[in-house]
Structure 1
Amino acid sequence: MKSNVSPVSKAPAISSTTAALLSVLFTIIYVLPFYLSPATRPSRRLTRDAPSSIRARVRSVTFSSAICFCLTIYVLHQYGNASPKEILRLLGFWPISLFDTARTVLLVAILFAGPLFEYGIVEGCWKRWIRGREAYEILSSWIGYRNFVVGPVSEELIWRSLVIPLHVLAHFSEKQIVFLTPLYFGIAHVHHLYEFRLTHPRVPVSVAIFRSLFQFTYTSLFGFFAAFVFLRTGNVLSVTLVHALCNSLGLPRFWGRVGVEAGEPIGPPDTGKNYEDGGFYDTSKGVMWTVAYYIILIAGAIGFYLQLFSLTESSHALPVVLVKA
């Protein structure tokens, strides 16, 4: 893995075991409170999407994040002898480069060129994006506020802004940080298996486990990218916005036709019309729209690979060990 950062020659400020144990502790502090209070604990009568549950969980993660933040500041200052300026840099709080942030968002937009084409062009959502109606409707709901504001901010704070500096102090190499720290992030989502079993008791256990493993896989994959970006840019704003963008777009379509509403049969061109804003968009587009989607999807993946390093290049990269002895 390339890096424009010089190797760190000082002895590690904390041991690798300490960094790992603190990361596990932060994960527990973040997740455990969800099960300590009836207001946040999932049950068959109270799902995680209930407004009252979301409000209680927002208070919980705010308190948990504050505890983890204070612990990290203490370790960075007491054991890393970091000055306030150095602490802000390690946390990715300062300096914040809006140019670096814009390039990172562009990189993700390239990767998701296919879904952006499907939602924006095929389904005609681009007008709503420009008017801001899509964002307003999403963020005005408690589920949207949780998924696109509280979730990205708190999760990137914990598993990037706080966990990664601890591994920098312990002199984990750049590759180790990129591929190890996201596992805490992935493990933190495993508890959704329990919640899913409560709310979907008729779903076979094997299916629920497969769903949980799949979620662990794609959250970890995103974590690899987010950790890479955080190290390369030293910018927590970038990974937070990227997290929110990925949450809004979801996983790309890898099969099926575009422009067809879920659950609706593919019919002749004059059927399946949805009316919106005085007009309509056709939900049974011709096959060429689907061909175009998959071409754009593949081109986006190639473009992402080719531009990965150039669009994340920054003078604010964190001081990491290139190769651990």
Structure 2
Amino acid sequence: MPPTLYNRLSSIVKKQEEVEAPMLSTTLVVALSVAYTALFVLPFYLSPTTRPSPTLSRDAPSVIRERIRFVTASITVSTCITSYMLSTRSDDTISTIAHSLGLYPINLFSILKTLFLTALLFAGPLFEKGVAEGGHREWLNGRLLQETLSSWIGWRNYIAGPFTEELLFRSNIVSLHTHARPLLPAATLTFATPLYFGIAHVHHFYEYKLTHPYTPWLPALLRSVIQFGYTTVFGWYATFIFLRTGSLWAVVLIHAQCNWMGLPRIWGRVGGLEVQGGVVGGPTRGKEDSGTNQNAEEERLGFVWTVMYYSILVVGAFAWWQCLWILTESDTALADIKPPLPQAR
């Protein structure tokens, strides 16, 4: 058989095999992602033990406990379905599937780099909490961590919430989209998939109105829109980190880190430590040291803290941007996302 004819037939056979290969279609991936999101949220309202009411807040310990149980069950189901789909619709092995889900390998260096990267973005709030408000003492003795994790709200915000949400919206949903055919662009993976994450938080509007019936609709709606906005923006960042590092553990820890920090202050005055007896946070030396001098010292200190906070906030944000691509580079990446401009080496 002439070589040219042989090559042509081989190409036809190869294309036919690719067409017949049992891959995941984009429609199937989107349908599964929507089903996963519904399975994550709807159980909150199907049981009287998890459904909030005007007299039962979502922060009630009984509600948190039951919701964690329901979420754990729904996440287990979603992960089993994803693993099954990846194993039957592709040639992935067990280790490859674990890598697609971000479970393996555990790259400790990548985790530490991304935590440091996120700390740069929150350098201002870290300064405010640790220095201006004196929180570094509780950080060092571990009391803050102990008090936080001893409550059900702390357990939900920093352990159960970050792990279950990242396992669903990054590990399951993003991994499905990376296997969709035709292949989705990296920009679509980064900016489109977090919409599921943002939409999953819209139900908080209903819960807020239910537990705050006298709050006008407009402020409540604005609160929900803002929450949808920052959860979606965080989803972009978390998805970017997940794709660049291939580590579920990195995004889980970043999620907990961001939950603890909250939204950075972008206006207002930073309050300093109380000045007692002419010493920051020191013991009082008597009534003669209180009054005008103390107020003036606290005013001056507050001004200094404020200037330092906003300076650190800007410098930290700039450093975060400069280090974004360098500190997220990893050999275990799930997608080949290139920086918009060549990075200096």
TM over 0.5: yes
- Which residue identity does 2:329 align to in structure 1? E
SS class of match (2:24): coil
Letter in 2 for 1:305: W
- CA gap of 1:84–1:296, structure 2 versus 1, over 3 A, is same
- 2:231 corresponds, among 214, 219, 235, to 219
Please show how residues 164-243 of structure 1 align to structure 2 within 5 Å: 164-170=174-180, 171-243=183-255
Aligned pair 1:91/2:107, yes or no? no
Structure (1 or 2) with the larger CA radius of gyration: 2
- Partners of 2:246 and 2:332 within 8 A in 1: yes
CA distance in 2, matches of 1:174, 1:183: 15
Alignment partner of 1:102 is 2:102: no
238, 244, 248: which is aligned to 2:256? 244
CA distance 1:260–1:102, shift in 2 (3 Å) = same
2:30 — aligned with what?
20
Aligned equivalent of 2:157: 147
**Letter of the structure 2 residue corresponding to residue 141 of structure 1:** S
2:137 to 127, 135, 153: 127
Q: String of CA shifts for 1:248-287, please: whole Å, max 9, x gaps.
A: 00000111111269xxxxxx9559x9989x89xx976330
Find runs of 4+ consecutive structure 1 residues off by over 4 angstroms.
Answer: 9-12, 268-271, 273-276, 319-322
Counterpart code for 2:143: R
Structure 1 spans left out of the alignment, 5+ residues: 1-8, 262-267
- Contact kept, 8 Å, 2:123 with 2:316, in 1: the verdict is yes
Match of 2:148 among 135, 138, 147: 138
CA positional deviation for 1:21? 1.1
SS of residue in 2 equivalent to 1:203? coil
Q: How far apart, in 2, do the equivalents of 1:177 and 1:203 lie?
A: 37
Contact 1:104 1:238 in 2 (8 A): yes
Report the equivalent of 1:258.
270
Does the 8 A contact of 1:42 with 1:195 survive in 2? Answer: yes
Q: Measured at CA, do residues 274 and 206 of structure 1 come closer, stay the same or move farther in structure 2, by a change above 3 Å?
A: farther
Find the counterpart in structure 1 of residue 167 from structure 2: 157
TM-score after normalising by structure 1: 0.89
* Identical-pair percentage: 48
Which has the bigger relative contact order, CA under 8 A and spacing at least 6?
A: 1
Cα deviation code 1:89-124 (max 9, x no counterpart): 100011110000000000000000000000001111
Distance in 2 separating the partners of 1:288 and 1:145: 35
1:311 paired with 2:321, answer: no
Contact 1:103–1:311 under 8 Å retained in 2: yes
| Residue segments in structure 2 that go unaligned for 5+ positions in a row | 1-14, 285-296, 339-345
Given the two structures, how large is their TM-score scaled by the length of structure 2? 0.84
Matched residues in 1 for 2:84 and 2:337: separation? 22
CA displacement 1:262-319 (0-9 Å, x = unmatched): xxxxxx9559x9989x89xx97633011000000001111111111000000000014
3-state SS in 2 of match to 1:286? helix
User: C-alpha distance in 2, partners of 1:96/1:260?
Assistant: 40
Q: CA RMSD in A?
A: 2.3
Q: 1:274 to 1:37 in 2, by over 3 A?
A: farther
Paired residue type of 2:323:
Q
CA separation of 1:216/1:269 partners in 2, compared to 1, >3 Å: closer, same or farther? Answer: same
Any idea what the Cα deviations from partners look like across 1:210-238, whole Å, max 9, x if unmatched? 10010000000000000000000000000
Post-superposition offset of 1:81:
2.6
C-alpha separation between the residues in 1 aligned to 2:259 and 2:298? 24
Indicate the larger mover: 13-22 or 100-109. Answer: 13-22
